[in-house]
Structure formats: C-alpha cells, structure tokens
C-alpha cells in the first residue's frame, strides 16, 4: 500500500498571518535591504525558495558594498544598486506565499 501523499514534498507555509508578511517586507525596507539575505535564508530553510536566492541577494548586496569600498563610490552607484535590490526583495517577499492554498 502506497499513497501519492506519502512521497509528496512538504512545503511549510511562509507566513502564518498577514501581519507576518507585512513585518517581513517592513524589515527589508527599514534595513535598506541589508537583512534580505538572512530573511530569505529562513525562507530557504522552510523550502519556500531555493537556497540560491539568499546567496544571490548576499552577493549583490554585500558584494556591491565591498566593491564600492575598494574602488570608491564617486558616482554613488552603490546607493542605486542597494535601492533597486531593496525594491526587488520587498516585492519578492510580498509575493512569497501567494500560491499557497489551505488543504493542499
């Protein structure tokens, strides 16, 4: 006896309440995107996103800070990179749990 439900991957729900989703997005915006990699690491541990997502965010955010420190930031390109990444991460966090349906 085997059931198709036994081998189905288990995916945890990302946000238990709508307030959690709001707090998640606010944390990203208030930290100017610097908390994005750790927050998405939590999502990756819950198997909501791939483990590559927090790695990509970390490379973009922390890498741009390191490169700007080494090369200089004469044209303020670092601020633009962080602002764009913050906006993308906030939208990404807001749509994380939209396909989740109770009872599935």
**pLDDT range class, residue 103, cuts 50, 70, 90:** low
| pLDDT of residue 8 exceeding 50 | no
Q: How confident is the model at residue 98 (pLDDT cuts 50, 70, 90)?
A: low
Which residues, including other chains, have CB under 8 Å from residue 32's CB and lie 6 or more apart?
82, 86
Percent pLDDT > 70 in the chain is: 79
As a whole number of angstroms, the distance between CA 42 and CA 37 comes to 9
């Amino acid at each position: 006896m085997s059931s198709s439900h036994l081998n189905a991957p288990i995916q945890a729900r990302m946000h238990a309440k709508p307030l959690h989703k709001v707090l998640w997005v606010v944390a990203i915006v208030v930290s100017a995107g610097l908390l994005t990699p750790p927050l998405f690491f939590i999502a990756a541990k819950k198997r909501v996103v791939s483990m590559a997502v927090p790695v990509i965010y970390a490379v973009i955010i922390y890498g741009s800070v390191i490169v700007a420190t080494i090369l200089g930031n004469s044209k303020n390109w670092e601020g633009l990179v962080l602002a764009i990444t913050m906006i993308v991460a906030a939208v990404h966090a807001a749509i994380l749990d939209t396909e989740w349906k109770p009872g599935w």
